[in-house]
Amino acid sequence: MKHLADELTAFLDGALAPGERARVEAHLGACAACRAERERLEKAVALLGRLPEAPAPSPTFEARFQARLAAQRALPRRPRLLDLLAWRHLAPGLAGAALAASVLVYAGARHRADERSMAEHLDLLESYEAVASVGVVERADDVQVVAHLDELGEGRP
Amino acid sequence: MASDPDAALMLAFQGGDASAFRVLFERYGRPMVAFCHHFVRDGARAEELAQEVFLKLYASSARYQPTARFKTFLYRIASNHCLNELRRGEYASRRAADPDADADGAPLDPDALAGGGASPEESALGAALSREVQALLARLPEKQRAAFVLARLEGLPYEEVAEVLQTSVSAVKSLVHRATVSAAAALAPYLAGREVTP
């Protein structure tokens, strides 16, 4: 037979539904160990009920509270953590971070676009050794210029 | 929550009625001191803690939602504040250094507690019991401690304790039971031979 546990204290506190209470009573009728435990806990609960009451607040309790409240209200309001996390506080920082991230993404994307463009015009670049040798072909725009130079080289106006 | 007059006062305070807050303070100031006293067993410190609970209530009034009873909301603030206080340990260390600690350690007769008059022996017994409970609370895990104070010492129904601690009623049953078993062990020297009084 499983002994009573949580339900025993709840039983003493009158916190059980009628059906559960009846089951606990039936168990107590048949189990000496649980009856002994109930008696022990009951005594402890009764003794706890005889703890001295908390002393009444001192006569200045409310006046001191009002003074503390006035002091609290006089303080400049410090932003709480949640406020700090609020959009209006984070917005400038986030805007800066977003701008920096955009620059990086744009720079990365542009870098990748330049690489693609240069790869696409690799044959052309290889045919212009002079242009390549001076190191001016760094960007996709340069490749386009080189392409036009090629056209100019063919004697177009 | 229209049926909770305290919630109505809190809403009135939210709306700018400062007198509503004063009424709440007058209504709950003393119970809050008693509640905090269970945690620290020191009248002056309990008053400070209770004041701080109301300062927190004041500061957080804008966030109050009348979805729970005001009393539950207040006890939640108070429980968290008192547990934080004990967690900091400053009070415990101060009490450990208190030269007033009962030195003889002999359990006194609990029957001496009966009646309103406080003889020296009654006062000594009350102080001894208080120290036992204080030491017990210091040993209990936090949630057991809060559940024990709310249910056993404050007399809140399990359902309200569950609301305050934001847990289930079955969890409260378990917490209160384990804390009560610990209390019975701690108070064993005072229990021997006692009859249960109704």
User: How many other CB atoms are found less than 10 A from the CB of residue B151?
Assistant: 27
Its pTM surpasses 0.95: no
Let me know whether B70 and B121 are in one domain: no
Residue ending a domain, choose from B98, B119, B149: B98
User: What is the identity of the amino acid at B174?
Assistant: S
**A-chain residue closest to B127, CA distance:** A52
- B137 at A interface, C-beta within 8 A: no
Let me know whether B58 and B3 are in one domain: yes
Alpha helices in chain A (DSSP H): 6-12, 18-30, 32-48, 61-74, 81-85, 87-120, 122-126, 129-133, 140-153
Let me know whether B39 and B129 are in one domain: no
Tens digit of each residue's pLDDT, chain B (198 residues): 558 899 999 999 999 999 999 999 999 999 999 999 888 878 899 999 999 999 999 998 888 888 878 999 999 999 999 988 887 765 556 555 554 443 344 454 455 444 445 677 777 778 888 889 988 988 899 899 999 999 999 999 999 999 999 999 999 999 999 999 999 999 998 887 555 554
Tokens of B1: 């929550």
Let me know whether B117 and B154 are in one domain: yes
| Cα dihedral A97, A103, A106, A111 sign | negative
Residues 6 or more apart whose CB falls under 8 angstroms from that of A151 comprise none
Q: Choosing among B181, B190, B195, which should be mutated to test the A contact, i.e. which has the most A CBs within 10 A?
A: B181
Check residue A121 and report its DSSP letter.
T
Q: Using a CB-CB distance cutoff of 8 angstroms, which residues of chain A are in contact with residue B29? A: 57, 61-62, 65
Is B132 part of a structural domain of the chain? Answer: yes
Is B15 part of a structural domain of the chain? Answer: yes
Q: pLDDT at position B41, please? A: 77
Is B10 part of a structural domain of the chain? Answer: yes
| Contact present, B34 and B100 (Cβ < 8 Å) | no
Is B104 part of a structural domain of the chain? Answer: no
CATH code at position B137: 1.10.10.10
Let me know whether B66 and B118 are in one domain: no
**B-chain residue closest to A4, CA distance:** B177
Residue position matching structure tokens 């609990």: B110
Q: Choosing among A45, A50, A75, A82, which should be mutated to test the B contact, i.e. which has the most B CBs within 10 A?
A: A50
Which contacts (CB < 8 Å, 24+ apart) does range A60-65 have?
A: A61/B29, A61/B33, A61/B47, A61/B50, A61/B51, A62/B25, A62/B26, A62/B29, A64/B47, A64/B51, A65/B25, A65/B29, A65/B51, A65/B54, A65/B55
pLDDT digits (tens, 9 = 90+) for A105-154: 665 565 565 555 555 554 444 444 444 444 444 454 444 544 454 444 33
Residue ending a domain, choose from B66, B98, B130: B98
Tell me the backbone φ, ψ of residue B160, rounded to 5 degrees: -70, -40
CATH code at position B31: 1.10.1740.10
Let me know whether B92 and B122 are in one domain: no
pLDDT digits (tens, 9 = 90+) for A18-67: 999 999 999 999 999 999 999 999 999 999 988 888 888 999 999 999 99
Is B35 part of a structural domain of the chain? Answer: yes
How many separate domains does chain B show? 2
Let me know whether B114 and B188 are in one domain: yes
Check residue B197 and report its DSSP letter.
P
DSSP state letters, B27-54: HHHHHHHHHHHHHH--HHHHHHHHHHHH
Is B170 part of a structural domain of the chain? Answer: yes
Residue ending a domain, choose from B98, B132, B156: B98
Let me know whether B66 and B117 are in one domain: no
Domain containing B154: what range?
110-198
User: Does this complex have an ipTM over 0.85?
Assistant: no
Is B38 part of a structural domain of the chain? Answer: yes
Is B148 part of a structural domain of the chain? Answer: yes
